[in-house]
């Protein structure tokens, strides 16, 4: 199974994942090097001042960057985030509506993948961005391929 096929299969996996159910993220599209996801913030993700918590925003971006990196791997490898840097550009809250979270590969490699992510609102405004570096690891033979 190609990396893109695996990313598309994540729709099924995400529906069973407690974290993905919590974030209510869905995969909209996946192509080699790019993944688009969608999520709608609500008050469960607010911080003490009534806007989306930075951890929620970072989690959305980390998922999109990781899925994009995964989309360029073969079916024998997976990747883990080594580092992520997030820039919060505009406030996100429950009124922000559905958000598109786009992850794109900037440089793929056998050992490391570098990605960028962006969260956009329905008006196409950038609300947050991220850069991420991920390490590529072989999937142990005894583990599932997705």
Write down the domain spans for the chain.
3-138
Question: Could you tell me the pLDDT band of residue 130, with boundaries at 50, 70 and 90?
Answer: very high
d(CA 74, CA 89): 34
Superfamily of domain 3-138: Hotdog Thioesterase (3.10.129.10)
Q: Is the pLDDT of residue 116 over 80?
A: yes
Question: Could you tell me the pLDDT band of residue 133, with boundaries at 50, 70 and 90?
Answer: very high
d(CA 81, CA 92): 24
Q: Is the pLDDT of residue 10 over 70?
A: no
The mean pLDDT value for 100-107 works out to 97
pLDDT of residue 141: 80
pLDDT of residue 143: 60
The mean pLDDT value for 87-106 works out to 96
Contact between residue 113 and residue 72 where contact means Cβ atoms under 8 Å apart: yes
Contact between residue 4 and residue 32 where contact means Cβ atoms under 8 Å apart: yes
Angle, in degrees to the nearest 10, between helices 54-70 and 3-16: 140
- 131 versus 77: which is more confidently predicted? 131
pLDDT of residue 51: 96
pLDDT of residue 60: 96
Helix (H, G, I), strand (E, B) or coil at 134: strand
Q: How far is CA 121 from CA 100, 101, 126, in A?
A: 6, 9, 7
Indicate the pTM of the whole model.
Answer: 0.89
Helix (H, G, I), strand (E, B) or coil at 41: coil
Contact between residue 136 and residue 79 where contact means Cβ atoms under 8 Å apart: yes
Q: Is the pLDDT of residue 137 over 70?
A: yes
Question: Could you tell me the pLDDT band of residue 31, with boundaries at 50, 70 and 90?
Answer: confident
Contact between residue 64 and residue 117 where contact means Cβ atoms under 8 Å apart: yes
Cβ neighbours around 108 below 10 Å, total: 19
């Amino acid at each position: 199974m190609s990396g893109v096929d695996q990313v598309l299969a994540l729709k099924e996996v995400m529906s069973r994942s407690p974290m993905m159910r919590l974030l209510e993220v869905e995969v909209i599209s996946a192509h080699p090097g790019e993944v688009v996801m969608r999520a709608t913030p609500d008050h469960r993700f607010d911080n003490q001042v009534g806007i989306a918590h930075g951890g929620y925003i970072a989690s959305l971006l980390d998922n999109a960057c990781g899925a994009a990196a995964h989309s360029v791997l073969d079916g024998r490898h997976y990747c883990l985030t080594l580092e992520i840097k997030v820039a919060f550009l505009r406030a996100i809250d429950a009124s922000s509506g559905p958000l598109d979270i786009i992850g794109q590969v900037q440089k793929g490699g056998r050992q490391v993948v570098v990605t960028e992510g962006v969260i956009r609102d329905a008006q196409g405004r950038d609300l947050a961005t991220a850069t991420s570096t991920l390490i590529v690891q072989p999937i142990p033979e005894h583990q599932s391929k997705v």
